[in-house]
Amino acid sequence: MKHAIECINLVKQFGDFRAVDHMNLTFEQGKISALLGPNGAGKTTAISMMLGMMKPTSGEVQMLGLPAGTKELRQRVGALTQDVKAADGLSVKEVLELFRSYYRNPMSLERLLDISGLHGDAKRRASSLSGGQRRRLAFAQSLAGNPELILLDEPTVGMDIQSRDRFWETVRALAGNGRTILLTTHHLDEADAVADHIAVVASGRVVAEGTPEKLKSQTALRTVSFRASNAPNEQEWIKLPGVKKAECNGERIRLHAENTDVLLFSLMQSSWGVTDIDVQSASLEDTFKSLTAKN
């Protein structure tokens, strides 16, 4: 298993504030990974050190087997950061051609226009684009060098639903072609849908990592909701196997449990007249709140 990114005991100190606190992370080649955390958790600082834009106070970062910030990596790594300004006076086509000129093996202009969805706006000044269009142009700029490794910091900010759908289709296609992608996002549903691996950070530290399914199964409860024509006293629900929390809202009962299979068996064996059963998996948002609330 090859690692595209390795952060080894990474620390970044700003005066008395430690933004990144002995962070150890590895991200696999050819996978879509997500780095999640609340505001101020150290995500953007970590990304900046990976890109060589900021030097660690201590520790090290390896990108594609090379120290972060080396000249060779600039040809092999693409990045979409949060603050990207449109070039003054240049058209969309000119911006993309300019960025292509920086690389030995650039992606074709046609492909970049396809990715950005800006074929019809190729002659427009980049500064006249809407916020969502500028974000799509910035994404295309990050791919101008045909990179092996792509870092995306809050990539869908400002995009409408259709643009976001198109964006994630492109990301999946890039990963399908063997490229490695690391992203940060506050849209947890997006991370849940696309990421092969997720690392959650809080207060500059890694608090959990794994597949979305693994994280959800370890830290959050599943929910069983139903109706009961012969419901017992509310306290009886808590006595059922694995139930951690019970909610009774009118005729509908909602139970939060670790093992819903055992719980369902108990409900069906009861004389409570259980019907209209709905089982819901834990959401990544529930998991995220649980993990970051402790830090």
Span 7-35, pLDDT tens digits: 999 999 999 999 999 999 999 999 999 99
Which has more pLDDT, 215 or 14? 14
- % of the chain beyond a pLDDT of 70: 98
CA nearest 208: which of 30, 36, 18? 36
Domains, the chain, in order of start with CATH, read: 3-76+148-210 (3.40.50.300), 86-144 (no CATH), 221-293 (3.30.70.980)
- % of the chain beyond a pLDDT of 90: 67
CA nearest 200: which of 286, 142, 281? 286
Report whether pLDDT(232) > 90: no
Rounded CA-CA distance 181/35 in Å is 11
- Average pLDDT of the chain? 91
**pLDDT attached to residue 209:** 95
Average pLDDT over residues 172-199: 94
Secondary structure of residue 159 in the 3-state scheme: coil
Residue that is written with structure tokens 């509310």 in the block: 234
Secondary structure of residue 197 in the 3-state scheme: strand
**pLDDT attached to residue 1:** 53
Looking at the DSSP bridge assignments, the partners of residue 225 are 254, 278
Rounded CA-CA distance 6/101 in Å is 29
Rounded to whole angstroms, the maximal C-alpha distance in the chain is 75
Residue that is written with structure tokens 């690392």 in the block: 199
Average pLDDT over residues 227-232: 88
CB atoms within 10 A of CB 121: 20
CA nearest 117: which of 97, 95, 132, 99? 132
**pLDDT attached to residue 219:** 67
Which has more pLDDT, 234 or 36? 36
Average pLDDT over residues 182-211: 94
**pLDDT attached to residue 100:** 97
Which has more pLDDT, 180 or 294? 180
Secondary structure of residue 160 in the 3-state scheme: coil
Report whether pLDDT(249) > 90: no
**pLDDT attached to residue 94:** 96
For every residue of 217-270, DSSP letters joined together read HHH--EEEEEEETT---HHHHHTSTTEEEEEEETTEEEEEES-HHHHHHHHHHS
Looking at the DSSP bridge assignments, the partners of residue 266 are none
